[in-house]
Amino acid sequence: MAVHEISHPLVRHKLGLLREKNISTKDFRDLASEVGMLLAYEATRNLPTEKVTIDTWSGPTTVDRIKGKKITIVPILRAGLGMMDGVLKALPNAKVSVVGLYRDEQTLQPVTYFKKLVKDIDQRQALILDPMLATGGTLVATIDMLKQAGCRDIIGIFLVAAPEGIDRLRASHPEVDIYVAAVDERLNADGYILPGLGDAGDKIFGTK
Ligand SMILES: O=P(O)(O)OC[C@H]1O[C@H](OP(=O)(O)OP(=O)(O)O)[C@H](O)[C@@H]1O
Ligand SMILES: O=c1cc[nH]c(=O)[nH]1
Ligand SMILES: [Mg+2]
């Protein structure tokens, strides 16, 4: 399993802005979407391409086209929706498979309440979107669902990941690679990432 911590200056700068204590809902939303687009750009860096010859204004020319598996993005409700617009800017043709899970505040266990996957998910690469990878329970449950539907090619992008969640992912689904803006220090006693971003869903939806 590979953890790609994207060190591009734009990503680091925008992540720094996301960490500001008094950030507005609008700014958090805009930045989550922008970093989502940049992470999607990195996560698709190795997509295979093929040469095709096309007609252009100056005659036939050979150009590159992406080939191979199509992609479905998988935003995890709610907070994953905050990255979706940005990711769709990079992948405008991607189909969207939505899953809804929340983390029980007491037990920190994921609770699934929604699932609507594209029909041909077994033929696609799934790109999971969630701002936060904390204990890893939500991500592992999501991957379980995708595998049950026949999907075998899965990667994920996150704004911030905790080492504890990465260890959990490695133990359960070691073939799933992830792309993150930062691997932070640790979880606090309530399962929040430190230094982290706070509750990403509340910040995106303004529900604090
Ligand atoms: O790695 P875990 O410990 O499972 O925690 C991470 C999950 O917690 C947050 O969602 P939350 O439960 O707050 O739901 P929300 O998106 O509706 O706010 C976050 O967006 C992840 O989905
Ligand atoms: O730090 C965290 C952990 C889980 N969910 C969040 O939104 N933030
Ligand atoms: Mg939340």
Q: What is the ipTM of this complex?
A: 0.98
The answer to whether residue 61 is domain-embedded is: no
Q: Cα(204)–Cα(69) distance, rounded to whole angstroms?
A: 31
Residues 6+ apart with CB under 8 A from 157: 36, 39, 40, 43, 83, 87, 127, 128, 129, 178, 179, 180
- Reading the chain (208 residues) residue by residue, the pLDDT tens digits are 999 999 999 999 999 999 999 999 999 999 999 999 999 999 999 999 999 999 999 999 999 999 988 999 999 999 999 999 999 999 999 999 999 999 999 999 999 999 999 999 999 999 999 999 999 999 999 999 999 999 999 999 999 999 999 999 999 999 999 999 999 999 999 999 999 999 999 999 999 8
Determine the pLDDT at residue 91: 96
Residue 51 falls inside a structural domain: no
- CA 55 – CA 57 distance, rounded (Å): 7
Q: Identify the DSSP state of 150.
A: T
Q: What is the pLDDT of residue 76?
A: 99
Question: What phi, psi does 189 have (nearest 5°)?
Answer: -65, -25
Are the beta carbons of 95 and 39 closer than 8 angstroms? no
Residue 19: the pLDDT is 98
Nearest to 134 by CA among 82, 199, 40: 199
DSSP-based three-state secondary structure for 193: strand
Model confidence, pTM: 0.97
For CA atoms 51, 6, 169, 114, the dihedral sign is: negative
Q: How far apart are the CA of 114 and the centre of ligand 3, in A? A: 15
Query: What pLDDT is stored for residue 138 in this prediction?
Result: 98
Residue 193 CB-half CA count within 13 A: 25
Which of 197, 204, 205 best tests ligand 2's pocket when mutated (most atoms within 8 Å of CB)? Answer: 197
CATH code, 12: 3.40.50.2020
What is the structure's pLDDT at 82?
Answer: 98
**Structural domain that includes position 119:** 3-45+70-205
In a domain, 53, yes or no: no
Examine residue 58 and state whether it is found in any structural domain, yes or no: no
Q: Reduce the DSSP state of residue 157 to 3 states and report it.
A: strand
Binding residues for uracil: 193, 198-200
**Separation of CA 62 and ligand 3 centre (Å):** 47
Ligand nearest to the CA of 196: 2
Residue 28 domain flag: yes
In a domain, 115, yes or no: yes
Pocket residues: Cβ below 6 A from ligand 1? 76-79, 102-103, 108, 110, 130-139, 165, 191, 199-201
In a domain, residue 60? The reply is: no
The predicted structure's pLDDT at residue 128: 99
Amino acid at 98: V
Domain count for the chain: 1
CA atoms of 72 and 60, how far apart (whole Å)? 33
Mutate to test the pocket of ligand 2, among 76, 108, 160, 193 (most ligand atoms within 8 A of CB): 193
Report yes or no on 177 lying in a domain. yes
Q: Which residue from 25, 102, 140, 194 has its CB within 8 A of the most atoms of ligand 1, so it is best to mutate? A: 102
Could you tell me the distance, in angstroms and rounded to a whole number, from the CA of residue 190 to the centre of ligand 1?
Answer: 12
